[in-house]
Structures are given as structure tokens and as C-alpha cells.
A and B are shown apart, each in its own frame.
Chain A
């Protein structure tokens, strides 16, 4: 790895040194050298060579397909290519995704998805007592989707399609812009929903596309709002049931506040646990959000129900939330969310998490601060924040290593094997990710999956990864275009293998288990 990712700091260092000489100021030599990676210092950063190329393609896509690698090589300058990818990802995010036709129903209108779920309920209720539902429908092969969806299995099919789309989009650049696939993973995970929670099931794919993907490089507050109003999130964290405390009416049970969503909105989605809020703030925010619930009829899948809304003034973190105009009750929640989304603690937290995903398990504070500054100055423009990161020396510094998570490794394998539409390979990738503990869209709690090596690099898990690599790559076509990026030692070991075995060892190499 070392020789691969060695990055030359020589040029800028010399530049600085000369500047110091010119200025011959007493403070100059000290301050920048003690903190040699500050953003301004590296303006004009232009890393070159295989290490920078390998880093860019493996971190900004899930890995090198032959076409993408050739594309990057034709650009020649990895940072220029990286910024091009960022622009392309933003452009792509503004368009609907290229869904394979047999998965298109995950992006149906929300009323149609509610309808599918309702029909499944009705179909199941109509099944005669004592019948095993599984006996009624031929078990559909995962990732082979029929044109006609069996109503009894609507929800499950939606889940399988959503997972298939994630695999298709992470591995196939004709289906998805490669950096946008990564951003979608990042935001889905940040605003995690558990797709196997009963009511969430049919919506998980729609949520990934219309929340995580659509706002991936837009304004952060729009992303939080989209997530807050989506049925998947409303169901997942129980917000749809949270209402102003009210006595039981005849034949109904009493209902009231549920703090679940309000708490995670502050703790996980925005401020972070040390972001300065209290239990009282959680409760106030829960009151602000009362009446936010699902709608099976509206195109947004969301409605605000005024009679379930807690009236009266509310204060969150010292901010008074206006509630004077009764008909504008939904604005209270929107105001609160915009306040939280643009809070300095949120800027720090989002910047840190992006840097952890793209740069290092323990990213330098100077990078985070640069990103957070732009986050606040741009009202949370994620595109601008990403740009700071790609322009920062820390992104290109070989000391900042990242170990691939199981999902990351599964996607990288599909790309390196150029699996394209080979869905049997998708199935293998899916199964590996699941047994390794990172089932796709399958994390039960709202914190999302961890991305760090402490969690994923254990001896047993490494052997599980090697099992998958050797199996999925058996008889794979050799990728000689990758060999320029592998260390001499890795190449030597690969060369010992029969050609039909080589791709397994390419996948298992240090160069690909890390990124």
C-alpha cells in the first residue's frame, strides 16, 4: 500500500519555503509548518500519479470499472477528474434515476405505493384461515422480478427491488453516476430507515431515490425536510402517531406524544448528541412536530393535521418557535428543522461524517473546520462542502487510510469484475454484505452503519471477505489495466495463480480491501 499511495508534498512545501524566505518573517516558518495542511496552504494542489488516481477512483466511485478507469486516465489529473465527478453527480441528482424497467415500481408515485400496500393487506385478509400464504405464490427468485406483482407479496417485492437497485447503481455506471451512488449510500445511512419494519417496507426504495439521492448534493435543510416528510421516516421513527396528548374518545384509545423522531432528529440527523440540547428540548420539538403524519392520498405522502397539533408557544434551545397563525402550524416544524439544519453543531457533525466516509476514520480537525465554515457560509450547500473536501490536501494524503465496509467491498467487487447486469453476481454480493453484518438497507437502528475499521476489520471478518472474493471472482476475466496500481508484492502473489484464479486475489489484495 505504501508505495501505492505515497503522495508528494514536495512541491507545495518548497513553495512555502520560498515564500518564507522571501518574506523572511519570524512567524512564517513556525505557524504553517506546525500546521502544514491548512486549506489555503494547499490551494493549487494537483496530485499526480497512480496513487492519487487509485485513491480518487476508489473513494469517489466504489471501484474501477474498465470504462471509468479509462475515463479517469484520459483526464490525466485526478483532482480535475474528482471535481468533474462532483459536478456530474450534482447534475445527475437533479434528474430521475435510470431505473431498470423491472425495478421501476419502487419509484412509483407515493399514492400508488400506499395502494400496493393496502392491496397486500386486503389480499392477506382474504386468504382462508389456516392457509399458509407461502404456499399460494411460487417463491420469486430474488432479483428476478416479474412484470405482474403478486399483491400478496407486494411489500417484500418492493424491498427486493430497492436492494437490487442499490446493487445496480453502485456497480453499473450506465444506471447511476458513480459518485452519486456513494452519496446516496451516505445519506441513506445518515437518515437511516430500517426497511424491514413492516410499514416502511414498500417505501424504502422511494426514500433512497427521492430523499437521499435527490438532495445528495443540494441544501442540507432540504434533505432533512424531505426525510422528515417521507412516509418511510414518518413510519420508521413513529412520528406519524405522535399527537398532542388527548383524552380517549369513545371506542378509541388515548393517544399522545412520542419522542422518538424528535430525539433522533437532533441527536443523529442534525446537532449530534453533544450539540447542546436537553430533554426539555426533545419534548418541545416533539410538540412542534405533532400532527406531522402520513397521507395515502397526497403526492408527497405527507399531511399536517392541525387538530392533532399541540397548540401554544414553544421554545427549542432558546429559540422561540412562532405559532401565532393557527393555519400555519406546519411552519413551526419547518422553522425548527431549518434552525437545526443550519446550526453550527450540525455543520461540524455533517462535515465530520462526510470526512469520515471519504477521507479517514479520524479526519483532521482542520479539514472538518474548513468544510464546516463553508457549510455555514453557504446555508448548508453540500456540493460546496464536498468541493472543499476534494480541494483539501487531507483528501489526497496517503496517511489517511480507509478500510472498505462489507457493502463497499461487495460493490467494489462487482465493478472490478465488470459484472454489469449479471444478477447472479449481485446475489453473491448481497449475501456477502448480509453475512458480514451489513445487509443492504437493513440496519435496525437510526444511527446507521458504522464505517470505520475498528468495527469491520476483525480477523474473522477478513476471512469471510476472502471467502467471498475467491468465490465471486472465480473464472473472472483478468483486469490487466489494474496492474499498474498494484504493488510489486501483490502482483508477484497474483502471478503465482492460474489465470482463472487471479481475479479473486486481485479482489482480496490490500489495495482493494482498503480504498
Chain B
């Protein structure tokens, strides 16, 4: 049998051996309903500064210089959500979403693996296989194959450098960061494309990758141009080709536009760096507060595009940070962390799962939030609700994960 264009491209793209077994055998996913978007904060964001446990007396003690003041009605204090938690004031834009019941948090989620290496932990999150560092496809890529039963294009990421989570045998579309996404490039000319095809005549992998890339960029540029939506301010924020916390909102806007115009795209991925706050992370204002403002804007942006009944947006990071501040007004690498979910189906306006507070004996190794809920179990709930994936299929995405019924209230009945 002649290999498909897709298979050929895959051989180009995948240097490691990816398991292809059984991807085409899934017929259960015939009717996906919603869309899933993951915003991944690289560098371990300080969840305790976003979902602030102001009601816990240990909080202010552990963080003498970097805690957020208890709610006092001013913009320099926590925005209370209940008696335990409140939002960082830089996230004021998220308060209405919480009050409308479409934004929820899980305070102690994470990877069961104990590593405090950013890079190892990110690899685990992106392959969906905690503890394993052997070559493996990204789980959004595997999922994309399941959604499409092995055919078509169903996942999109922002940034042309392929993140692990999208790497693997299934086709994914990558769009440039910021304004790069709006440019179709030299291959928009048919003459140039033909000449390049000739150049790659002896290398079908390069040839088909080139044609696929050209087609993607042309359609992306056309879609974004037609909506004429990029302001010069946004361009300023994100024109360096690298995704920063500041550029994230523009990337989110592009993702929303493109996924709204191509309904086959069910899975979206965004990421930003700049969250590894070892020194002077600030409190009400400062480095981290600026990033949180940008994250809040990003979520508002995503909310406007992903507001259909079964759409779910998730926010996560590879691990959390130490509960106590370190010697340099920052925080070091921790373990458990806060995950966020947003969508009409989310049982929002409340936090979910177990929370034992910040007393020393309740912390992981006496220093970090514990992981009470495996990140795979959180994603499993979302995939089940949003895409209608049965648990047996989810097990193909996250081999060996266990359904966590403590999270069964995460979505509306």
C-alpha cells in the first residue's frame, strides 16, 4: 500500500519510535461535542499567588514578604471567593467568570512523580506518563488521532517549534506566535511552490511537509486577515516570535479565531514561559502580578471564543512552588499546584477536591502543596465531558491512569 502523505510526513517528523498501535481502531469517538484547550505555564507558576489561601493563618506566616493582604476592599488585597481562598487582585478580570459559575479551581493537583526538574516534569505532563522519560508521543497528539479516528487534522498549537505534547504520529497544525501567524510567506505563490516541489522531488518527506506547511500558513493568514483583528498594541507585545507571558493573550486570540473557523479542530494548545520566580516575585504588584494579569486577559480572550456548551479550557503548570518564600523573596520548586478549568459545563464558582491547609504536617516533605489529584485524572474528567471519551479510550491517552471519583463533581450534571 502506498503510504499516505500523513504517514510520510510522520516519518520525517518523528525521530523516535511512537506507538501507532490501535489508533485507527477507535470508533467510539464518532461524535465529539466540545473542544479542549490547554494553557500550559512553563516554569512552575506560583498557584498560591493566584488562588490565595488567605483564610489559612499559615499563609501569611510562610510568606512574610510576598503574600497578598487579606481582603480589605482595596485593590491591594485578595478578592475573596470564600472563607478559604481568594483571587490575586491582578486576576480581577476572572472574578465575573467565577461568579457566573464557569471558572473552577483544583488547589492540590499535579503529577504523582516527585521530580523537581522543570524539564523532566514538563516531559511527564506532555507525554501523560509520569516517571517515564523514554521517547513517547505527546498526549494531545495521541488524542488527536483518537478524535479523528486516525484521519484529518484536529489539533492546533501556537508556536512553530513543536512542543512535546503535540509531537507524534498524528497531524497537528502549528501557527506562528503573534503577528507571524498572519503572514502567508513566499510559498503563497504557486510558481514558488512548484519550484520547491521540484527541489524536493527526491525527498518526499520534505516535499509533503513543505506543502502541508504552505497550505496551513495560507489558510491561517487568510482567516486572520479576513477578521482584521490584530491591533498594533498586540503586535508590540508579541512580535519577537517567542511566547512570553505578555504575548499569550494575542496567541489566545489567534487560536480562538482559527478554531472557530475550522470546526474540525477540537484540541488547542498554548504555552508561555516566564513563571520561574525564584527571586523578587513581588506580591500585589511585580513580576508575577504582571504575568497573572496577562494570564487573566488570556482566559478572557479564550472565553469569548470557547463558550459552546461542552468547551473546556484548562490551565496547568508542571509543578507548584514552595509554600514558604525562600531567602530571596521568591519561591523554589515544589510539588502540587492549582489547576483551573473554565467552561459552561464546568461546575464553577467553587474549588474542587481535597485541601488540608498549609500546616507543616500537611505539606509534601514539609514544604510543598501535596498532590491529592493526579493531573491525568483532571484531564480525564475534561475529556470525558467535553469530547465524550469513554474511560477505556482515555486509558489509551494516559496509560495506567486511574479515574478519580473525588473529582466527579467537577462538571455540571
A binds B: yes
* Interface flags, B100-123, vs A, CB<8A=1, else 0: 000000000000000111111000
Is residue A279 contacting chain B, with contact meaning CB distance below 8 A? Answer: yes
Other-chain contact of B175, A260, A273, A442, A460 (Cβ < 8 Å)? A460
> Does A243 sit at the interface, judged by CB under 8 A?
yes
Q: Is the CB of B240 within 8 A of A434?
A: yes
A437 touches B333 (CB 8 A): no
Cα A463 to Cα B217 with chains together (Å): 8
Is B203's CB under 8 angstroms from A253's CB? no
A428 to B16, CA, bound (A): 33
Question: Given B43, B64, B162, which contacts A455 in the complex, CB threshold below 8 Å?
Answer: B162
- Whether A225 sits at the interface, judged by CB under 8 Å, is no
User: Is the C-beta of A496 less than 8 angstroms from some C-beta in chain B?
Assistant: yes
- A435 contacts B241, CB within 8 Å? yes
Say whether A496 contacts B210, CB under 8 Å: no
B15→A452 contact, CB < 8 A: yes
List of A residues within 8 angstroms of B332 by Cβ: 258-260
Interface residues of B in 174-198 (CB under 8 A from A): 174-177, 180, 185-187, 192, 195-196, 198
Instruction: Determine if B256 is an interface residue (Cβ-Cβ < 8 Å).
Output: no
Does residue A11 face the partner (Cβ distance < 8 Å to B)?
Answer: no
**Is A510 a contact of B186 with CB atoms below 8 Å?**
no
Contact of A493 among B119, B133, B161, B195 (CB under 8 A): B195
Q: Is the CB of B216 within 8 A of A460?
A: yes
User: Nearest chain A CB to B204's CB is how many angstroms away?
Assistant: 11
Taking the closest CB of chain A, its distance from the CB of B322, in whole angstroms, is: 9
Residues of B within 8 A of A115 (CB): none
Chain A residue numbers with a CB within 8 Å of B329 are: 253
Chain A residues positioned under 8 Å from B213 (CB to CB): 458-463
Q: Tell me if B209 is interfacial: C-beta within 8 Å of chain A.
A: yes
Do A455 and B206 form a contact, CB below 8 Å, given A258-B332, A434-B240, A445-B43?
Answer: no
Pick the contact of A508: B199, B201, B217 (CB < 8 A): B199
Q: Does A457 lie at the interface of the complex (its beta carbon under 8 Å from any beta carbon of B)?
A: yes
Which secondary structure characterizes the binding site on chain B? loop
Which of chain B's residues 321-374 have a Cβ closer than 8 Å to chain A?
A: 326-330, 332-333, 365
Q: Among A135-143, A337-345, A465-473, which stretch is in contact with chain B?
A: A465-473
Does any Cβ of A come within 8 Å of B46's Cβ?
Answer: no
> Inside 8 A of B25's CB, which chain A residues have their CB?
none
Closest A residue to B181 using CB positions: A460
In the assembled complex, how far is the CB of residue A441 from the closest CB belonging to chain B, in whole angstroms? 13
A461 touches B161 (CB 8 A): yes
Give the residue name and chain of the A residue nearest to B208 (CB): A459
Contact in complex: B117, A457 (CB < 8 Å): no
B229, chain A: closest CB distance, angstroms: 20
**What would be 30 A-B contacts, judged by CB atoms less than 8 Å apart?**
A238-B278, A245-B327, A255-B328, A256-B327, A257-B326, A260-B332, A263-B117, A267-B119, A274-B133, A279-B116, A361-B15, A435-B176, A436-B160, A437-B159, A437-B241, A447-B119, A452-B15, A456-B161, A457-B13, A458-B174, A459-B209, A459-B213, A460-B174, A463-B187, A466-B186, A466-B196, A467-B187, A489-B202, A493-B198, A505-B199
